[in-house]
Amino acid sequence: MNTSNKISNKERIAIIEKSAKQVGKPVVHAILIIVVSFIPVFLLTGQEGKLFHPLAWTKTLVMASSMILAITLIPVLMVLLMRGKMRPESKNPVSNFFVRLYEPVLSWCLKWKKTVLTVNILALLLSVFLLTRMGSEFMPPLDEGTILFMPVALPDASNAEMKRILQVQDKIISSFPEVKNVLGKAGRISSATDNAPISMVETIVLLKPKSEWRTGMTKDKIISQLNEKLQIPGITNGWTQPIINRINMLSTGIRTDVGVKIFGQNLDTIYRLGQMIAGELKGIKGIADLYPEQITGGKYLNIEVNKDAIGRYGLTTDDVNSIVQSALGGMNVGQIYQGRERFSVNIRLAQDWRGSLDDIKGTLVQTKNGPLPLSDVASISLKDGPSMISSENALLRGTVLFDVRGRDLGGTVKEAMQKLDKTLALPKGYFINWSGQWENQLHAQKTLELIIPVAILLILLILYFTFHDLRDAFNTILSVPFAFVGGILMVYLWGENLSVAVAVGFIALFGVAVETGVVMMIYLEEAMQRMVREKGTAIDVVTLRHYVLEGAVKRLRPKLMTVCVALFGLVPVLWSNGTGIELMRPVALPMIGGMVTSAISILLVMPIIFELFKENELKKYGNIKVKDSL
C-alpha cells in the first residue's frame, strides 16, 4: 500500500488472488462434505428412496454448481466490481453490532472454559434424554385432501345386503357439511389384481375446501364424527387415504397402517391365532380399527352324490354333476366376440329357482322313470369354509389389521410386540411377522444406521485432508453433535415424531454445520499464521488468547452469513400451509434448531477447544506449529 492509502491495480488483483486461494480449497472440501453427507439419502430404497432421491439430487447438483461458480466466477467478478474506495469491515454498523456483542461473550467463555464445556455436554445429554422420550413413525402422514373409508363385513354377507349397507353409509357420509362427493363400491372391479371380496367396501370421500368447513373442524375430527355415525352391527370400520392405501397394499400387502401376519399350514389354526392376537391387542392405546381377517366364515353349498341311490335310478355321477352344473353353476354353451375380446355364454336356472336351499333340493333330475328331486340322489347342505385363501412364500397366511391414531406408530407397535411376546404361545411351525408401515420403518432405520456412521467417517477424512491436522478435523466435526442438540430440541418442542423425513433433515443439517465450522477453522488458522509472523517464538498463553479472539471475532460476518442464509430460507416453512407441508416441515425443523445451536457451538466452543489444543502444543514444544496454507 502506498502513502496515499491507494493501491495499484496489480496489487489489488494480487490481494484478491491471495484471498481466493486462501478459501478456495476449504470451500471445495466444505461442498464435498455436504455432498458426502447426503450419501445415506442416496442409499435409501423403496418408498422413502423414491420420495427423497429428488431432494438429494437437487441439493447435490446445486451445491456442485455453487462450488464451480465460487472458485471461477466469483474471483473474476471481484476483480471487475471491487474498485474504488472500499469501506473496511470495521465501519459496517451491522457487523460492528455483532462484534461488540460477541467479543465480550467469547472472552468470558475462554476464561471459563470448563464451565462452558460442562454446560454444552449437559445440553448434549439432555438432547439424548429427549430423544428417548420421542415417538417414531415411518413417514409423517401426508394430507391427501381425500378420505378412503374401508369397512369390512362378515364373509357370508349377500350381494343385496352389501348393496343396502353401501347405500346407507353413503347417505350418512353425504349428510356432513364438509363432504363434497361420495363414491363407494363393494367387491372387486374387473381386474385380476383386485382380489377384494364382496364383503369389502371402498368409499372415496371428497372434502370441500377448508374455508367451507365448520369452525374448529379438522380432518381428524371429521373422521372421528363419521366413525361414530357409521357404527353398523357386523361391520368393522377402517379409515385411510386413497394414495397411501394403494402404496401400502402394493409394497406390503397390508391396507392399514400396521398388520400382524400369521404364517402356518392350517387355516383353522391361523384363524384361531388371529382371534387371540386381536384379543390381546384390544385396549392398547393408539390401536384403532382393529380387524382380524375372517379366514373362515364363508358359506359353501356341499352336494354329495349318493351312489346307492343313483344306482337304483340308473344314473351316473356324471349325470348328477351335469345337472348341478347346468342348473346352479352355469354351463358354457358358446362365446361372444367383441373385437379382440371373447366372452363365454353360460346358462343356469334363474335366481328364483335357486335362491334357497329348498329350491336347490327340489331341482329336477331326469331318469328313465321320470323326473325326481335332486335331494333323492344327493345330500345337500351348507358348510362353513375359508372365505379367501391367502398365501405368502409358499405358506398360508392370515392377518390382524389395525390403524394407529392418537399415538406414534413406533411406540404403539413396540408395546403391542412386548405384550404378545409375554402372552402369545405359538404352536410349532407357526410364526408371526409385523408388516405395513412398521416394516418400511425398520427397513429405512437399518439402512440409516449402517450408512450414517460411514458418512461421518468420510467427512472426518475430508476434514483431515483439508487441515492436515487430526485435531482441527476433530474440532470441526464437533459441530455435528452440538447441531444435534438444537435439532432434537426443535423437533421435540414442535411435537413431531422421529421419522425418515426428520432423519433426512438431520443429514442435511450435519453437512451445513460442518461447512460453517470449516469457515471458523480457516480464520483461526489464519490468526495463528499471523501470530507466528508477528511474534516469532515470543508466544505465551496471553498472546495466544489475543490471536484466538482476533481470529474468531474479526471474521464474524462470513460465519453469521453462512448460518443466516440457511435459516432465512427454512424459517418460512414453519408457518406455510398447503399439500405436502406435513412432509417438508419435519425436514426443516432439525435444520432450523440445529443451525442455531451449531452456530453457538462454532462461535463459542470451537475457539475454546482450539485454544486448548494450542496451549497443550505450546507447553509440549515451546512454540506453535502453523501450516503455510490450507
Q: Does any domain span residue 575?
A: yes
| 35, 507 contact by CB (below 8 A) | no
Inter-axis angle of helices 159-174 and 219-229, to 10 degrees? 130
Q: Are residues 509 and 573 in the same domain?
A: yes
User: What is the count of structural domains for the chain?
Assistant: 3
Q: Distance between CA atoms of 609 and 602, rounded to whole angstroms?
A: 10
pLDDT tens digits for range 397-423: 988 988 888 888 888 999 999 999 888
> Residue 473, exposed/middle/buried by CB under 10 A (0-12, 13-18, 19+)?
buried
Q: Does any domain span residue 288?
A: no
Q: Are residues 120 and 164 in the same domain?
A: no
Residue that finishes a domain, picked among 336, 358, 386: 386
pLDDT at 37 over 50: yes
Calculate the CA 194 to chain-centre distance. Answer: 27
Banded pLDDT at 629 (limits 50, 70, 90): low
Stated pTM of the model: 0.78
pLDDT at 518 over 50: yes
pLDDT tens digits for range 591-610: 888 888 888 888 888 899 98
Q: Does any domain span residue 627?
A: no
Secondary structure letter of residue 329 according to DSSP: I
Q: Distance between CA atoms of 364 and 362, rounded to whole angstroms?
A: 6
Banded pLDDT at 4 (limits 50, 70, 90): very low
Q: Are residues 609 and 478 in the same domain?
A: yes
Q: Distance between CA atoms of 242 and 146, rounded to whole angstroms?
A: 7
Q: Does any domain span residue 2?
A: no
Cell 400387502 belongs to which residue?
Answer: 253
Per the structure, the complete domain to which residue 353 belongs is given by 299-386
The set of residues, in sequence order, having a beta carbon less than 8 Å from that of 590 and lying 6+ positions away, is: 486, 487, 488, 490, 491, 502, 505, 506, 509
The pLDDT of residue 390 is 82
CA dist 311 → 285, 367, 374, 535 (Å): 64, 11, 14, 121
Q: Are residues 614 and 483 in the same domain?
A: yes
SS3 507: helix
The pLDDT of residue 192 is 63
Instruction: Report the chain's mean pLDDT, rounded to a whole number.
Output: 84
For residue 160, report the phi and psi dihedrals to the nearest 5 degrees: -65, -40
What HEC string does 188-230 produce? Answer: CCCCCCCCCCCCEEEEEEEECCHHHCCCCCCHHHHHHHHHHHC
CATH code: domain of residue 121: 1.20.1640.10
Half-sphere exposure at residue 48, Cβ-oriented, CA atoms within 13 angstroms:
28
Q: Distance between CA atoms of 472 and 468, rounded to whole angstroms?
A: 8
Q: How far apart are the first and last CA of the chain?
A: 25
The set of residues, in sequence order, having a beta carbon less than 8 Å from that of 111 and lying 6+ positions away, is: none
Cell numbers placing 177: 357439511
| 187, 273 contact by CB (below 8 A) | no
Banded pLDDT at 342 (limits 50, 70, 90): confident
Calculate the CA 289 to chain-centre distance. Answer: 22
Q: Does any domain span residue 6?
A: no
Residue that finishes a domain, picked among 386, 411, 435: 386
Cell 435444520 belongs to which residue?
Answer: 591
Cite the beta strand spans of 140-186 per DSSP E. 146-149, 179-186
CATH code: domain of residue 195: 3.30.70.1430
Q: Distance between CA atoms of 586 and 592, rounded to whole angstroms?
A: 10
The pLDDT of residue 90 is 66
Q: Are residues 108 and 214 in the same domain?
A: no
Cell numbers placing 70: 465460487
Cell numbers placing 451: 450408512
pLDDT tens digits for range 296-331: 777 788 889 988 888 888 888 998 888 888 888 888
Q: Are residues 379 and 517 in the same domain?
A: no
Q: Are strands 378-385 and 395-404 parallel, antiparallel or unpaired?
A: unpaired
